[in-house]
Chain A
């Protein structure tokens, strides 16, 4: 029996309430070109900046994204990575700035083109750290991040940068706490997640708005309008939960009240949104970034000057089948990021929007026969018109197994802290030195707070 035969949801939608979202989507499609032009004209020289966090869930194998290609280091790479190594004919060369040369794999032409245009930088060997750590201090077990190599703990730590006092606050959220004032009285929170709940965007006082890549729907129950007796009863009951309910009831009532309050505003705004005129790939990540583009295209409707977006690409826990799975993931990532930034260029705000990757952790250089296991230091990507791209930042590690940077089996000890990575981005976003000390409380334990990959001019 077919699924659709017995499923009358579609009928229901046609017959009954609320096709508002559908209409909004159609309007968006019809108004595409006009809106793109509008977005472009409202663009330049206004004070607007957006950070887009692309979380690569599961632990991206960053050392198979950025590959050393000069003869000596490529040989080391190949030895370390065994059957996970790319052969030299699977590499796309990146413009070289010295004798150390790098490549990406043939899965990532988007990265090659962004990098060679100067719009993409790599940050090598960045990871969660409590303090600067060497192989010697690692082996002594002194002051290491708690629960190294655990998915949940390492992603939380990378998102919080508060490793030894994890208070379930993320650095994206702390940015929103401190810089939210720049957005005046906008009803839209500074943070917008297109990928559900994440620690990254939770602040002390700030919560993001959560939307789906397909847009925002009206609440059917309140679709009769504020004076409808059903709406009034629903809201009265919700109000009683808010005031008289227990802790859990109040939390749910608060969340639903917020969702209802914002849904109509979002629907109206998105009706005039644009995804530009370029061709977008069909991946789920690309759909999320399309929604980010649409939100950015209507930023003036909300009167926002700063936005932090959050999207997720899952599937990176490649313990097995890595070659096939990781290649497909990186292909999607590279093409989605390229499409997104070319749309930002079309909007005329290429220099105002920066995307960057985060992940649970890096992966072992060594192979477990057809995959890699949980590790630590990783390569991250930063893209956009304000990125001093075409360069590799941080210190690219030695990939010699059991060498100076290796904890075991090619688990590389980070030489740059996520705190420094985040601080460089936050400074470009507008955070002051005082702000940075609050957002990244451990920042002063590490060397520079500006890794140099952002154009701060």
Chain B
């Protein structure tokens, strides 16, 4: 009796990574889902229509910087031949590039370096850019991280693919698949959460119950459709109470790994968790908004009531809408913008709630997103470190000689790596504001949570090395590192103003102020066009670095 109890209690401490860490080689790999591209095939990009330009190039660049991992010449040309709506529709119809399938083609699908390389390869080269970009945004809302969690690398790729495959699906499906994924189960300890047992002196684990409400669906305060907090006698109104957390924790008991035969065994990281009714709390539970979860309910039925209740809460539209706007478009959307996105979440026009296609379209094609500072003087956001790198490489065809993107340690070089935030609160919080004018005006700038003296030095220096050293044609650069191709720059470098104009177009969408361009052009002109590095090389590298390191580029507007 004691030993059984002892084992029951101890087993939850066997974290997923320990269970799964040594698995890969021996275990058959997960089947590639039908809607994924063939991982072995070269990326297939949609054919660009041979028609006169429809969308100006600068507009295309600006839009692609919101909707993709950064504008590059091919995408700019492609989008310029169609309307923004047509481009979005084309992207929404595309198959997914799935990460696990590609990771499985590497020598070791449980090596973190390979996960990073596969992530960068998708970000920089995948044709389904909008899907990939939205998936990354979702990964910063539904946060799972390898920092301090011990979650196996391949389990993280399985998790990331849930976001990739469902980016254009329904929010309710994302919520359920995230909830039942072994990675999230391990990260927020719903895996092996069990009902209260007086004899063992244990009760349900509140971790996932709290964070699924606070961070993934409804947040802390009741919101109007436009995202502003509702007030009662001048006070904000909490969305849930501690009792709601405790009771939701009971609802979320009874889940084990999908191949488990008894509650605490099982090793399969590829499939959804599965219920063990003996460990599920079957008492009557009252959750959010006094919703009853009837007695004697089984774990899946109880879970459905909880997730339906959360999904149908009026907060989800403005809560998730604001987060997606912040990740893709701007830090301080107007309440009306949030409201339009929330309304698209509430009803896609055909009576469907949670349709991500409608939400994404509303986020990207909103007049405020397209109008920028003309529509809202507070428009703009700081580019995340990862998005600066992916943009650099997309604009200048960055890759290694073997076509891979072996950039293994972005967390230590630029302070950010996919699925590697410090906690479930992401790399930065939606309401972060640096002290000073931004905070004084009641505005937010989430990405500035990563800006400080130590990170500035590291980031500026890393960019310096990636540009001044890692370019094709540098005889000293390792050809198997990511190298940029500066041909499009050096061929313009004879006329400095042409070079500066091209960089301005391709990186900022012509947002560099005239005086900044004058200063930059004068410096480029002062450099020899011909020198030992090759014609135009020095001019190209200098101009590129000075544009990318400029606040006028790093703030995206």
Chain A, Cβ-Cβ closest to B108? A1
B40 located at the interface, meaning its Cβ lies under 8 Å from any Cβ of chain A in the complex = no
Contact B465 A12, beta carbon cutoff 8 Å: yes
A55 located at the interface, meaning its Cβ lies under 8 Å from any Cβ of chain B in the complex = no
Contact B478 A370, beta carbon cutoff 8 Å: no
For the complex, what is the distance from the CA of A82 to the CA of B434, rounded to whole Å? Answer: 43
Contact A263 B555, beta carbon cutoff 8 Å: no
B291 located at the interface, meaning its Cβ lies under 8 Å from any Cβ of chain A in the complex = no
Chain A residues with Cβ under 8 A from B242's Cβ?
148-149, 407-408
Chain A, Cβ-Cβ closest to B459? A256
For the complex, what is the distance from the CA of A444 to the CA of B505, rounded to whole Å? Answer: 59
For the complex, what is the distance from the CA of A245 to the CA of B555, rounded to whole Å? Answer: 10
B201 located at the interface, meaning its Cβ lies under 8 Å from any Cβ of chain A in the complex = yes
Known: A150-B220, A368-B202. A246 touches B207 (CB 8 A): no
A432 located at the interface, meaning its Cβ lies under 8 Å from any Cβ of chain B in the complex = no
A86 located at the interface, meaning its Cβ lies under 8 Å from any Cβ of chain B in the complex = no
A164 to chain B, nearest CB (A): 10
B2 to chain A, nearest CB (A): 12
For the complex, what is the distance from the CA of A210 to the CA of B550, rounded to whole Å? Answer: 21
For the complex, what is the distance from the CA of A150 to the CA of B10, rounded to whole Å? Answer: 27
> Which residues of chain A (139-187) have a CB below 8 Å from chain B?
146-153, 168-169, 173
Contact of B201 among A204, A317, A367 (CB under 8 A): A367
B519 located at the interface, meaning its Cβ lies under 8 Å from any Cβ of chain A in the complex = yes
Contact A212 B454, beta carbon cutoff 8 Å: yes
Contact of A368 among B204, B435, B443, B465 (CB under 8 A): B204
Contact A217 B457, beta carbon cutoff 8 Å: yes
For the complex, what is the distance from the CA of A386 to the CA of B192, rounded to whole Å? Answer: 47
Stretch of A64-72, A92-100, A232-240, A333-341 at the chain-chain interface: A232-240
B87 located at the interface, meaning its Cβ lies under 8 Å from any Cβ of chain A in the complex = no
Chain B residues with Cβ under 8 A from A83's Cβ?
9, 200-202
B469 located at the interface, meaning its Cβ lies under 8 Å from any Cβ of chain A in the complex = yes
Contact B453 A8, beta carbon cutoff 8 Å: no
A316 to chain B, nearest CB (A): 10
Known: A237-B519, A315-B148, A369-B9. A219 touches B200 (CB 8 A): no
A374 located at the interface, meaning its Cβ lies under 8 Å from any Cβ of chain B in the complex = yes
Contact A82 B200, beta carbon cutoff 8 Å: yes
For the complex, what is the distance from the CA of A194 to the CA of B129, rounded to whole Å? Answer: 37
Contact A370 B204, beta carbon cutoff 8 Å: no
For the complex, what is the distance from the CA of A237 to the CA of B238, rounded to whole Å? Answer: 46
Contact A240 B519, beta carbon cutoff 8 Å: yes
Chain A residues with Cβ under 8 A from B193's Cβ?
368-369
Chain A, Cβ-Cβ closest to B461? A220
A30 located at the interface, meaning its Cβ lies under 8 Å from any Cβ of chain B in the complex = no
Stretch of B61-69, B340-348, B377-385 at the chain-chain interface: B377-385
Contact A245 B552, beta carbon cutoff 8 Å: yes
Chain A residues with Cβ under 8 A from B413's Cβ?
9
Contact B452 A210, beta carbon cutoff 8 Å: yes
A254 to chain B, nearest CB (A): 8
Chain A residues with Cβ under 8 A from B526's Cβ?
229
Known: A248-B380, A252-B382. A259 touches B457 (CB 8 A): yes
Which of B194, B381, B452: most chain A CB closer than 10 A?
A: B452
For the complex, what is the distance from the CA of A346 to the CA of B476, rounded to whole Å? Answer: 48
B165 located at the interface, meaning its Cβ lies under 8 Å from any Cβ of chain A in the complex = no
Contact of A369 among B194, B450, B554 (CB under 8 A): B194
Chain A, Cβ-Cβ closest to B377? A246
> Which residues of chain A (188-239) have a CB below 8 Å from chain B?
193, 196-197, 202-204, 207, 209-212, 216-221, 229-230, 232-234, 236-238
Contact B437 A250, beta carbon cutoff 8 Å: yes
Stretch of A274-282, A318-326, A413-421, A445-453 at the chain-chain interface: A318-326
A268 located at the interface, meaning its Cβ lies under 8 Å from any Cβ of chain B in the complex = no
For the complex, what is the distance from the CA of A6 to the CA of B481, rounded to whole Å? Answer: 5
B555 to chain A, nearest CB (A): 4
A163 to chain B, nearest CB (A): 14
Q: Could you count the A-B residue pairs with CB atoms below 8 Å apart for me: how many are there?
A: 261
A297 to chain B, nearest CB (A): 19
Which of A217, A253, A255, A407: most chain B CB closer than 10 A?
A: A255
Contact of B550 among A237, A324, A369 (CB under 8 A): A237
Produce 1/0 per residue, A287-323, CB < 8 A to B: 0000000000000000000000000001101011111
A393 located at the interface, meaning its Cβ lies under 8 Å from any Cβ of chain B in the complex = no
Chain B residues with Cβ under 8 A from A370's Cβ?
9-10, 12-13
Contact of A210 among B8, B201, B408, B453 (CB under 8 A): B453
Contact A320 B373, beta carbon cutoff 8 Å: no
Contact B476 A319, beta carbon cutoff 8 Å: no
B436 located at the interface, meaning its Cβ lies under 8 Å from any Cβ of chain A in the complex = yes
Chain B residues with Cβ under 8 A from A168's Cβ?
433, 435, 439
B214 located at the interface, meaning its Cβ lies under 8 Å from any Cβ of chain A in the complex = yes
B300 to chain A, nearest CB (A): 21
> Which residues of chain B (394-424) have a CB below 8 Å from chain A?
400, 406, 408-409, 413, 422-423
Contact B437 A256, beta carbon cutoff 8 Å: no
Number of A interface residues at 8 Å Cβ cutoff, please give it: 92
Chain B residues with Cβ under 8 A from A253's Cβ?
551
Contact A233 B519, beta carbon cutoff 8 Å: yes
For the complex, what is the distance from the CA of A337 to the CA of B119, rounded to whole Å? Answer: 39
Contact B113 A3, beta carbon cutoff 8 Å: yes
Contact B453 A211, beta carbon cutoff 8 Å: yes
> Which residues of chain B (9-23) have a CB below 8 Å from chain A?
9-10, 12-13, 15
A416 to chain B, nearest CB (A): 22
Contact of A252 among B435, B515, B555 (CB under 8 A): B555
A333 to chain B, nearest CB (A): 15
A433 to chain B, nearest CB (A): 26
B405 to chain A, nearest CB (A): 10
A438 located at the interface, meaning its Cβ lies under 8 Å from any Cβ of chain B in the complex = no
Contact of B12 among A149, A233, A258, A320 (CB under 8 A): A320
For the complex, what is the distance from the CA of A408 to the CA of B204, rounded to whole Å? Answer: 13
> Which residues of chain A (257-275) have a CB below 8 Å from chain B?
258-259, 262-263
Contact of B454 among A148, A196, A204 (CB under 8 A): A196
Contact A320 B15, beta carbon cutoff 8 Å: yes
A-B residue pairs in contact (CB < 8 Å), sample of 5:
A58-B423, A149-B245, A210-B454, A212-B458, A247-B441
Chain B residues in the interface with A (C-beta under 8 A): 8-10, 12-13, 15, 107, 113, 148, 188-189, 192-194, 200-207, 210, 214, 220, 236, 238, 242, 245-246, 249, 331, 373, 378, 380-382, 400, 406, 408-409, 413, 422-423, 425, 429, 433-439, 441, 443, 445, 448-458, 460-461, 464-465, 468-470, 476-478, 480-481, 513, 515-516, 519-520, 522-523, 526, 542, 545-546, 549-552, 554-555, 557
Top 8 nearest A-B pairs (CB, nearest first) are A210-B452, A82-B201, A8-B478, A368-B205, A241-B551, A319-B207, A233-B523, A6-B480
List 13 additional contacts besides A11-B478, A233-B546, A366-B201; criterion CB under 8 Å: A5-B478, A6-B400, A16-B468, A82-B202, A152-B425, A237-B552, A241-B550, A245-B552, A247-B443, A252-B551, A317-B207, A319-B207, A324-B13
